[in-house]
Amino acid sequence: MLHLPVRGETEDQPLASMLAADYDLEAVAIESGESHYTIFTPEAVFQLHYDSPVEETLSMLQCWDYLQVHGFSEIWPLRVTAVGDLGVYLDDHIGYMTARSGGRPGELGLRADAVMAAKVLAKLHLLSQELPVSVREGLDKAPPIRPNLARRREELELFRTMALHRLFPRAFDLLFLKVYEYAACQAARSMDVLAQIDIDQLENQPELGGLLQGKCHGRSFWATDEGKMQLPHLQGSTWGLLAQDTVSLITNVGNYTEWSLSTAHRVLSAYQGIRPLQHVELMTIYGLGIFPRGIWDTAYDYYKGNRKRDEPEALEALREEWQRAVLQREYWQWLLGDELGV
């Protein structure tokens, strides 16, 4: 933490001067983080973010401002500058200020957190659909679903070929050949479900699209000291089919609750209490939910990635992802599959 002196010139003075001039804030201390500063003032605690590229950040801030003005209180407040601007230029970055709420990162293993996160996500999705076209067009678009999954399915087959033809097969190769049959079957089933509802066409329907939070992990949310749930930011948000967020959240909830169906039902009900899901959205969620993404991730890292794990770690990761894929398929079948008749 950097304590700013009241007088005297230091390397921290330009930032302190900027805060005073642009935000009319007196910084008592500054803590440097990854792509942001935490600013301690007599008034409150703030975070000064500096993001790039500039155009994408400006679009995000316009979106943030619209949501905030139109009543979306489930996000850290965006503090405008003294002259009413959404941000300031910091060298080749855009800087913007948020007021940090007291509290902790969300934990999806806690049922109360998971349910509140679902409500926040539903409110974000619902209100984002009213974004002006001018703001919406500046946001990044989520990758098309079917081509993305088709590529991963083809890569699973490629990895199988690589494992089969290795001159001296390793333990990972031998296990992957066993895992492959299950993964390929699940990938095919996922693609079949999405083909039934013509997923390409659904992505062009305005009533099904909106602002995507993205990863929907527990740490993507913030549980305040007042018992509320908020989003700390909109970094990484894209525009796409909203079902992608919903499946991410409910899958993460399952992963942190040992695939608790009772919690999953509560989360899904909480979301639908605010934004009811159409039948095709439920089919989309099921189709995406059963795709063996974790197996693909692990195999991709081993065969085409940067090898983040050594051989024993990679082997154990593949075993874990295989077990997780089996549990995840059962989870989605009980949660939605039987009801949908798929």
- CATH for 89: 3.30.200.20
Domain match, 62 and 155 both: no
The string of pLDDT tens digits covering residues 303-322 is: 997 788 899 999 999 999 99
Select the more confidently predicted residue: 272 or 27: 272
247 in any annotated domain: yes
At 7 the pLDDT is 30
Cβ proximity of 76 and 49 under 8 Å? no
pTM of the model: 0.91
> What 3-state DSSP class applies to 322?
helix
Domain match, 40 and 152 both: no
DSSP letter at 75? B
Domain match, 25 and 125 both: no
At 249 the pLDDT is 98
Domain match, 40 and 134 both: no
Query: Structure tokens of 145?
Result: 């679903």
179 in any annotated domain: yes
The string of pLDDT tens digits covering residues 216-258 is: 999 999 999 999 999 999 988 999 999 999 999 999 999 999 9
User: How many domains in the chain?
Assistant: 2
105 in any annotated domain: no
> What 3-state DSSP class applies to 304?
coil
333 in any annotated domain: yes
What percentage of the chain exceeds 90 in pLDDT?
76
| Host domain of residue 52 | 2-100
At 33 the pLDDT is 81
d(CA 148, CA 133): 26
d(CA 41, CA 101): 14
What percentage of the chain exceeds 70 in pLDDT?
96
The string of pLDDT tens digits covering residues 167-190 is: 999 999 999 999 999 999 999 999
Helix/strand/coil percentages in the chain, nearest 5: 55, 15, 30
Distances (CA, A) of 253 to 291, 294, 313, 328: 17, 15, 25, 11
DSSP letter at 219? G
Query: Structure tokens of 287?
Result: 């189709």
Query: Structure tokens of 249?
Result: 């959240």
Alpha carbon 204 to its chain's center: 21
The dihedrals phi and psi of 47, each to the nearest 5 degrees, come to: -125, 130
